[in-house]
Structure 1
């Protein structure tokens, strides 16, 4: 059974601080604005929606109490529609879309909305204070370590140099700044309130990036119990990491009868796990898996949105897979525009569809990864 994407939109991203451009919004309001946009753009009638699935990592405070259900009620989706809130760390938004694809394919849903939301200005990183974050009853290799520390360890183990990371950070910032003047690459980005741009994008230079000191060495001391004496050679600066932002993304998923003119067909979706310590390698495993499912090679993919979780996995992607970089993250990525964790996968899918439209491309790929070895990937075929 073919599964289609009727539309996929994303919010602008605001800095995650009290005076950030989205900080006065609500998480359910951000998603509600995207539901309005999908309906206004002609992809759906909200009265036909029978499922809403949202990824959200920080499910406490403003994002607690089942944020998908709250959004369903506030957005006046049908009372009979189901609502699901999931947490798969930074792959949550793409996982939500994959679950919607599976539900439609299985006949459990006819028209689903799926994506994610994260407002880090209101619910900070690790605000849920999970016991696992400090639980020393696990074997050291299985204990939680923040993803920034995992990225720095991976850089050290794979000898990813600061120069490699800085070059990709500069590329991301430059492309993001240029994209602000390219309407085709912004076609599915939705203005929220008075914010009409991705607020974290900043002007920089190779010289400024090179002068920045390593930023995450202190995490090795804080999580020494999980490192079992392993020393860290800290390499990443804050410019090699995505800034914290607020944002949301949403896709309409359905079968052949759900849309008059769908934007894309889902070719394949895959998820996988990986070594918890080398957490950011799971995206590679998911990418390999989804390409095998689709029977496609990387050079057949016209546009790729590879999650810039940090510059380290992005550098390893360039080094080990040798993609045509003119096809990868053509409008910049998370290093420039920010990482609203639960929303990321859906934001990347929306960005991908715009990039495919702008290039008149056929096949597109999204790759997402997250802490403790979670990864997801999707391949779509553009139809319009």
Structure 2
């Protein structure tokens, strides 16, 4: 077993919670992202018996909200003291994993002792956005854009589907393999749900009429036959379909991170030690490969290789992203997304990094494994990765 350097100031992941994940205009359609985040902030304070004034900062990822500082809004809504600072990060799909690495750096440096970190997203309530009439990208008063520009047009600024298609072609990954992976993701997620593998991290959300306790996207009867019926999105020769690509979702996920001093002071029992995190940039036209680049960079900085990692969580925005990762590192699929991934659970952009960390923690415990890696590729040609070591 590899021995991690213990001379540095330690950073612990105490644990965390996530909401059930809803489809766009589904079960969470009326919840503002700050509502979801505030619910989880209050729940975490209660779960770990933390004084409100022990929280020094809240850092949240958010990709498609109305702007402003979601973290500050959320913490105030949760009733935290005015002196608690809030920071919001937009790293697109990698926002909350980037936030986790930033929080770890603040704790590692000694600047902070306890930070609540994660992300929240409501695609159901995403605002319509429009360029200023003086902007060359303006197309008329009733025309709105669905996403920001991530790369200069001279380089290429592909939509997500186009980037996934580029990657499938570049890596010689066929549609059948993508469809099979998607079905397997749903099968694993359904099994995990039936066996209550994630019950300790899913926090129910109350409405006026009911209690939302389950993820909305998992197929009850996943079928490869149905997957094959889905039409390619871009063109007849395309490989990416609405079946092997993620839909859009609502949800939030938050994690408590703490220093060794805070762990002792508040009698906390951490789930994992944060070992390291890193991000990297690649060709924006092949953005799904960002997960590979960031993971390789992180492993290299610790003088490790992929064989030193027991389990891996890769955000499944597209099946091709995971298959490219498996192919590059020559990995057995049994090590990746053991409870299924975002193709089954959903992908609330700004929260997805924290979601895969929470799933990784549960998987490591369930399989009695020690070292885990969580990673995402993000729009604009970015990747982010985080490595953890289980404590309990």
When the two structures are superposed, what TM-score results if normalisation uses the length of structure 1? 0.89
Shift of 1:139: 4.5
Deviation at 1:279, TM superposition (A): 1.1
Moved over 3 A (4+): 127-139
> Are 2:106 and 1:92 aligned?
no
Equivalent residue for 2:72, pick from 69, 72, 78: 69
Aligned partner of 1:240 in structure 2 is 244
Deviations, residues 26-68 of structure 1 (Å, cap 9, x unaligned): 21111112112222222633320010111101131xxx33211
Bigger mean CA deviation after superposition, 103-112 or 86-95: 103-112
Distance 1:189 1:312, change over 3 A: same
- 2:150 touches 2:379 (CA, 8 Å); kept in 1? no
Contact 1:147–1:370, Cα closer than 8 Å, also in 2 = no
Structure 1 residues 12 and 211, CA, compared in 2 at 3 Å: closer, same or farther? same
8 Å CA contact retained: 2:63, 2:350: yes
The structure 1 residue matched to 2:259, chosen from 228, 237, 255, is: 255
SS of match in other structure, 1:329: coil
Change (3 A) 1:129 1:295: farther
| Residue of 299, 321, 335 corresponding to 1:327 | 335
- Secondary structure at 1:381's aligned position in 2? strand
Residues 1-384 of structure 1 correspond to what in structure 2 (within 5 A)? 1-17=9-25, 20-42=26-48, 44-60=50-66, 64-123=67-126, 127-129=128-130, 138-142=152-156, 144-193=157-206, 194-202=211-219, 203-217=221-235, 233-259=237-263, 260-384=268-392
State the alpha-carbon separation in 2 of the partners of residues 9 and 161 from structure 1. 36
Contact in 1 for aligned 2:65/2:121 (Cα 8 Å): no
Query: What SS does structure 2 have at the residue aligned with 1:241?
Result: coil
Distance of 1:75 and 1:137 partners within structure 2: 36
What's the CA shift string for 1:206-251, capped at 9, x where partnerless? 111112111233xxxxxxxxxxxxxx94211101111211011111
Q: Is the 8 A contact 1:92 1:345 kept in 2?
A: yes
How far off its partner does 1:25 sit? 1.8
Q: Deviations over 1:262-319 (max 9, x none)?
A: 1110111111111111111111111011112233322222221111120111111222
Change in 2 beyond 3 A, CA 1:177/1:13: same
* Unaligned 5+ runs, structure 1: 218-231
User: In structure 2, what is the Cα distance between the partners aligned to 1:137 and 1:286?
Assistant: 19
Q: Residue 322 and residue 29 in structure 1: after superposition, are their counterparts in 2 closer, same or farther (change >3 A)?
A: same
Q: Aligned-pair distance for 1:320?
A: 2.2
Secondary structure of the corresponding residue to residue 198 of structure 2: helix
Aligned equivalent of 2:143: none
* Alpha-carbon RMSD: 2.0
Give a deviation string over 1:116-139, Cα, whole Å, max 9, x none. 111111116xx4456776879944
After superposition, the Cα gap between the structure-2 partners of 1:134 and 1:255, relative to the gap in structure 1 and judged at 3 Å, is closer
Rounded Cα–Cα distance in structure 1 between residues aligned with 2:12 and 2:150? 45
For residues 55 and 271 of structure 1, the distance between their equivalents in structure 2, rounded to whole angstroms, comes to 15
- Cα distance between partner residues in 2 of 1:71 and 1:199: 24
**Runs of 5+ unmatched residues, structure 2:** 1-8, 138-146
Separation in structure 2 between the aligned mates of residue 176 and residue 209 of structure 1, nearest angstrom? 17
User: Secondary structure of the equivalent of 2:376?
Assistant: strand
What corresponds to 2:4 in structure 1? Answer: none
CA contact (8 A) 1:188 1:350 kept: yes
State the SS of the aligned residue for 1:90. Answer: coil
Deviates more, 1:189-198 or 1:161-170: 189-198
